[in-house]
Structure 1
Amino acid sequence: MVLVGRRKAGAVEHPPFDCHRDHGPYAGVDSFLTTLAHDRPRLAAAHAVELAAIAPGLDPSPRRAAEEQPIRFHPARRTAALAYGAAEFVHAWAAGLRTPVTVHFVHTADADETTAELLAALGRRLADGPLRLALHTDGPPTPVPAVRPEELRAALGDSLARGFYHHAARVARRGRAITHDPGLRWSFTTGLATALAALDQASEALQLYAETRTTTTDPKILMSAAYATAMLYARHLPPAEQDQGAARDWLGRAIRLAADLPDPRQRVLTTVFYEQGVALLDSREGRPDRALATIDSGLSALAAVLSPGERPQDWARLLHNRAQVHLALGDRQRALAGLDEVIERDPGNCEYYADRAALHRAAGRDRDAFDDYAAAIRLGPHLPEAYYNRATLHDEHGRPGKAREDLRRVLAIDPRHVDARIALANLDLGRAALDDAEAGVRAGLAVSPDEPQLLCTLGLIRSERGDLAGADDLLTRALSADPGLAEAWTNRAAVRFEQGDPAAALADLDHAIALSAAPEPLFNRATALLRLGRYAEAEADLTAALALPDLDAGLRKEIRAELARARTAATAPVGG
């Protein structure tokens, strides 16, 4: 590799970066990013969160003690956001190059998933630019470092805390294979199960806990395994395999075992957090009052054993749970006050800002919502849902250009984000950019060919182009995939109406109205009824549409005009 240097000769040679997975997550690319960060520290500061996550040596702040590690694990998809942010940093760095530079990476065929993902993101972002990547599948031999089980356990904990689950799973499997110590083996087993659950392999995690129960009588291990099993049934198994009753049974076992813990402080802390699982189930089952009582009891118990300022993330977790229950009870004011306190105690968690932004938005405090979305994006970093929600807010404020920018960011991070694809296509339709809208939707269908919402949107685009037969076919395909998609019924009705078949349009709109409380199906059905001369029914639909809350001003005007027309037609003399 040749990097722009600070020597008088003008350039510095750098050996290839070794990406072999045995060097850990982000092997090779972490060193590459560190080199660039040292070259442009001010630019690196604008990408501090993602760079520190990939290359921890760039973060000068002290690492948390083991007891203070985050109690919420990162979602597996976070690495895609890290890759996006790092690629943006490298692209900005490369913009200052005056001559082409080539970077060499070796052992890319044996890279960790995080490294492969980031190299792919760099390849897309740097295409046709002055910074070029040379990826070599082989390279000099990479010896496997000899490590002791305790070092493996530390590496496992670090990978889990940072959200690098493929590496964590490999480390855990290696640890399980070489240790016979019961405590260490349990650490590797539960670490492996945690990684598998994050990677959507919860069924295998469930088997690991079942295996553990056949090989140990240690009450602490059985307690932890019971709680973890409950969470798999409640959250992580595929929806068809989730079992809230089984989750409740396993939580009961875990709580009973926690009652026998010898340390009084640990007994209280463990019981409180296991009971949060019970509160979750109560809330899901329509009993928010019971959930709220459990959470309040837990907060009182924490206050009895924790000193002021101690374990702020633990406090924040319970307060966040309580805010969510207040929201479920319809008390937005208490939910918002709760989130204010949550963020005060744990200001580094992006999830809390995203939740509070939604409440600000619902209350009409859009400036505060924008601020919280910005914080969520910075801390996430590059949280796709925060970009998406901010895009919709930009659109509501008449800033479609900024909305498109945010939606493009969402899709750069997560090409499978269907809602972002559709929102971007609608913005393109709004500016009559049919080619852009169709290209974006087809890009989504290349990833998910049978996605009904994308088929529906493409049908709408084909209709705008005047291809009514093609639109009808696409909308019919969408309805075959999802008969509950009200938008597809509504759009196909409009197409069939334009094709001169109001009766078929009417049948589709009956389906749409049964599925949706939106005003558009009612308005469209009224239009079809007017064509068929059924004026009283049309008047009823228009009156119902006009009574709906939050009606768009433009649509309200059209509804009133059609209502006047229906009433006039209904009173006109026959043949007059």
Structure 2
Amino acid sequence: MTEEPDAYDCHRDHGPYAGIADFLGRIAADRPRLASRHEVELHAIAPWLDQTARPAAEEEPIRFHPARRTACLAYGAAEFAAAWADTLRQPVKVRFDHVADADETTRELLDVLIRRLAASPVRLDLHDGGPREPVAADPAPEAIRAALGDSLARGFYHHAARVARRGRAMVTPDGDLRHWWAFTTGLATALAALDRAAEALDLYNEARAATDDPKITMSAAYTTAMLYARHLPAEDQDQAQARHWLEQAIHLASGLDNPRQRVLSTVFYEQGVALLDSKAGEPARALRLVDDGLARLTAVLAPGERPQDLARLRHNRAQVHLALGDQAQALADLDTVIAHDPGNCEYYVDRAALHRAAGRSQAAIRDYGTAIRLGPHLPEAYYNRAVLQQERGRSEAARDDLERVLAIDPGHLDARIALVNLQVERGALDAAEAGARAGLALAPEEPALLCTLGLIRSERGSLAEADELLTRALVGDPELVEAWTNRAAVRFERGDAAAAVADLDRAVALSAAPVPRYNRGTALMRLERWDEAARDFTEALAQPGLDRPLRRDLRAALARCRRAMAG
């Protein structure tokens, strides 16, 4: 690359990742070996880099990517760009034009790149103006519909919504019902993915008012049911309404002329009923529906046909087996699912959870790693892998995974809490305090973070501040044993042994762990309540699995109590 800045047009008229996809594609062409380590994210952002890819289907795919996937893509692409930047021998300027008018995917990725490349030799110059590249626009509804299908299939929902609205403005249900419905349901799908399910519901109500076409009303009934079952805010979800609309969809499917399509549609819609049955605490009934659906699908499909449909039903069955407590059968189903649809990260996450529950940590770690590669960079897979790494004593690996989670999703509180606690354990109090305060900036009353920050401040001698933080933690979670124990330690250090005992009474009532009893015994000794202290030390010593230093301290404290009582 030259010293003069390369310029890339980011205007949203060029679609998702406009400009920045060309920038990443140019790096990929220069560094193919490096690009091969980031294929999933690069192919998602710049699909022309994948020579084996097929165009996205015009119709709705079987499953949709979650909207948060773009944050994962941005993380992976930024890691790729940073690795490239590390190979540069001289500074490089890169200019991006029309940033203010860029698609949401482009702005999100630019934000991540700016942070990730801040200390690199690459300087990103962002401009709202600049020359505009011509857009080859085809105003035909077919072209707009294809673009809509592509954006939905790739999970770029803001762009999909814009394309769908453009299409709806071109046609009417009276003049071109087929395209109007494609644009309407595509817009509803995008809005639901963007947590705007109420607007999607309005669109389906509009469709029912506009036409009585049985295929459209059938599809609208099913998607309306799913909005009520899953996508509306929790307070607006309505399982009775969901069942009503599923019944409508199944009734309309029974009237389809094509026998094969009748079976496919009916089985698909009945999976929604199975979902509701499982949610309602009727997993046995759900299992019967899924088994029956699999049998009917197998009867009408040719060998090897629609493997993802069959995989989806088997995945549903695995979830039902889990609800019935049959982990072995759930695992068998997931093994079959992955064999038939090996590119779905969701299945590896679910199987990893089963391996983890069965104590097969290494198998779980492998499945989380596959999910991270396919996802790509799923925060939950990184987080769960970090937990397993920590359980296996691999603190550095756990820390790396937790830092990745927060690089992708800074609002992931569980990862923030786990990372701060790891930093406290290794004595990195500056990093721990900064992390805790960053988390509290997003969730000011998060009890676990308040508790840990209180512990850090007490370690640094700020006892009054620590007491206040721990009290706030207990207001938020009165059953947080660590907060009772830590506040007791603060109050003991401030000279109020009676208050410390009161806090430890609460901790002991909540937990059978030995440390709260040891601490309470210590506070009771300060108050010269020797017999009560001795009971605490004795009961703590009876706990299994005590580490050697704690056992030694307990025995010494108990001996002191006995001497005091004897004297």
Contact between 1:535 and 1:567, CA under 8 Å: does it hold in 2? no
Greater alpha carbon shift after TM alignment, 309-318 vs 200-209: 200-209
Kindly report which structure 2 residues correspond to 1:261-300, keeping only aligned pairs within 5 A, or say none. 261-300=256-295
Cα distance in 2 for partners of 1:116, 1:500 equals 55
1:73 matched residue in structure 2 = 64
Determine if the alignment matches structure 1 residue 17 to structure 2 residue 31.
Answer: no
Q: Which runs of no fewer than 5 residues in structure 2 stay unpaired?
A: none
- Which of 314, 331, 334 does residue 329 from structure 2 map onto? 334
Determine if the alignment matches structure 1 residue 368 to structure 2 residue 368.
Answer: no
1:353 matched residue in structure 2 = 348
Q: By how many angstroms is 1:12 displaced? A: 8.8
2:53 matched residue in structure 1 = 62
Give CA-to-partner distance per residue, 1:114-140, whole Å, 9 cap, x none: 000111111111112111111111122
Amino acid at match of 2:243: R
Cα distance in 2 for partners of 1:25, 1:508 equals 56
- Which of 142, 146, 154 does residue 162 from structure 1 map onto? 154
Contact between 1:68 and 1:311, CA under 8 Å: does it hold in 2? no
1:132 matched residue in structure 2 = 123
The alpha-carbon distance between structure 1 residues 527 and 306, as it changes in their structure 2 partners (threshold 3 A), is farther
Q: By how many angstroms is 1:495 displaced? A: 3.5
The alpha-carbon distance between structure 1 residues 108 and 566, as it changes in their structure 2 partners (threshold 3 A), is same
Q: By how many angstroms is 1:154 displaced? A: 1.1
Q: By how many angstroms is 1:143 displaced? A: 5.5
Q: By how many angstroms is 1:450 displaced? A: 3.7
- Which of 91, 97, 100 does residue 91 from structure 2 map onto? 100
Determine if the alignment matches structure 1 residue 423 to structure 2 residue 415.
Answer: no
The DSSP-based 3-state class of the residue aligned with 1:200 is coil
Q: By how many angstroms is 1:354 displaced? A: 1.4
The DSSP-based 3-state class of the residue aligned with 1:16 is strand
The alpha-carbon distance between structure 1 residues 131 and 502, as it changes in their structure 2 partners (threshold 3 A), is same
The alpha-carbon distance between structure 1 residues 520 and 540, as it changes in their structure 2 partners (threshold 3 A), is closer
Contact between 2:455 and 2:466, CA under 8 Å: does it hold in 1? yes
Q: By how many angstroms is 1:222 displaced? A: 1.6
The alpha-carbon distance between structure 1 residues 566 and 136, as it changes in their structure 2 partners (threshold 3 A), is same
The alpha-carbon distance between structure 1 residues 64 and 495, as it changes in their structure 2 partners (threshold 3 A), is farther
The alpha-carbon distance between structure 1 residues 307 and 395, as it changes in their structure 2 partners (threshold 3 A), is same
Cα distance in 2 for partners of 1:76, 1:12 equals 37
Amino acid at match of 1:331: D
Q: By how many angstroms is 1:244 displaced? A: 2.0
Cα distance in 1 for partners of 2:439, 2:391 equals 24
Cα distance in 2 for partners of 1:176, 1:525 equals 70
The DSSP-based 3-state class of the residue aligned with 2:118 is coil
Contact between 2:58 and 2:146, CA under 8 Å: does it hold in 1? no
2:396 matched residue in structure 1 = 401
- Which of 374, 377, 386 does residue 379 from structure 1 map onto? 374
The alpha-carbon distance between structure 1 residues 476 and 173, as it changes in their structure 2 partners (threshold 3 A), is farther
Cα distance in 1 for partners of 2:534, 2:164 equals 66
Contact between 1:411 and 1:421, CA under 8 Å: does it hold in 2? yes
Cα distance in 2 for partners of 1:259, 1:112 equals 42
Q: By how many angstroms is 1:305 displaced? A: 1.1
Cα distance in 2 for partners of 1:380, 1:318 equals 21
- Which of 37, 56, 70 does residue 46 from structure 1 map onto? 37
1:6 matched residue in structure 2 = none
The DSSP-based 3-state class of the residue aligned with 1:291 is helix
Contact between 2:56 and 2:150, CA under 8 Å: does it hold in 1? no
The DSSP-based 3-state class of the residue aligned with 2:64 is coil
Amino acid at match of 2:113: L
The DSSP-based 3-state class of the residue aligned with 1:17 is strand
Cα distance in 2 for partners of 1:236, 1:552 equals 46
Give CA-to-partner distance per residue, 1:96-128, whole Å, 9 cap, x none: 111101011100010001000111111111112
Q: By how many angstroms is 1:491 displaced? A: 3.9
Q: By how many angstroms is 1:59 displaced? A: 0.7
The alpha-carbon distance between structure 1 residues 289 and 520, as it changes in their structure 2 partners (threshold 3 A), is farther
The alpha-carbon distance between structure 1 residues 326 and 536, as it changes in their structure 2 partners (threshold 3 A), is farther
The alpha-carbon distance between structure 1 residues 335 and 495, as it changes in their structure 2 partners (threshold 3 A), is farther
Amino acid at match of 1:176: R
Contact between 1:200 and 1:236, CA under 8 Å: does it hold in 2? yes
Q: By how many angstroms is 1:142 displaced? A: 5.5
Cα distance in 1 for partners of 2:185, 2:516 equals 51
Contact between 1:539 and 1:563, CA under 8 Å: does it hold in 2? no
The DSSP-based 3-state class of the residue aligned with 1:87 is helix
Cα distance in 2 for partners of 1:568, 1:575 equals 10
Q: By how many angstroms is 1:288 displaced? A: 1.5
Amino acid at match of 2:81: V
Give the paired residue count. 562
The DSSP-based 3-state class of the residue aligned with 2:338 is helix
Determine if the alignment matches structure 1 residue 206 to structure 2 residue 201.
Answer: yes
Cα distance in 1 for partners of 2:188, 2:534 equals 59
TM-score, length-scaled by structure 2: 0.90
- Which of 166, 176, 179 does residue 174 from structure 1 map onto? 166
Determine if the alignment matches structure 1 residue 148 to structure 2 residue 140.
Answer: yes
Contact between 1:530 and 1:566, CA under 8 Å: does it hold in 2? no
Contact between 2:423 and 2:429, CA under 8 Å: does it hold in 1? yes
Contact between 1:83 and 1:121, CA under 8 Å: does it hold in 2? yes
Contact between 2:537 and 2:555, CA under 8 Å: does it hold in 1? no
Contact between 2:85 and 2:122, CA under 8 Å: does it hold in 1? yes
- Which of 439, 462, 470 does residue 444 from structure 1 map onto? 439
Contact between 1:543 and 1:563, CA under 8 Å: does it hold in 2? no
Contact between 1:525 and 1:538, CA under 8 Å: does it hold in 2? no
Give CA-to-partner distance per residue, 1:189-227, whole Å, 9 cap, x none: 211111111111112212222222222212222221221
Aligned-residue sequence identity (percent) comes to 67
Q: By how many angstroms is 1:510 displaced? A: 6.2
1:8 matched residue in structure 2 = none
Cα distance in 1 for partners of 2:538, 2:268 equals 52
The alpha-carbon distance between structure 1 residues 384 and 223, as it changes in their structure 2 partners (threshold 3 A), is same
- Which of 22, 30, 43 does residue 21 from structure 2 map onto? 30
Amino acid at match of 2:92: V
Contact between 1:160 and 1:191, CA under 8 Å: does it hold in 2? yes
The alpha-carbon distance between structure 1 residues 111 and 540, as it changes in their structure 2 partners (threshold 3 A), is same
TM-score, length-scaled by structure 1: 0.89
The DSSP-based 3-state class of the residue aligned with 1:97 is coil
2:449 matched residue in structure 1 = 454
Q: By how many angstroms is 1:558 displaced? A: 4.1
Greater alpha carbon shift after TM alignment, 174-183 vs 433-442: 174-183
Contact between 1:193 and 1:208, CA under 8 Å: does it hold in 2? yes
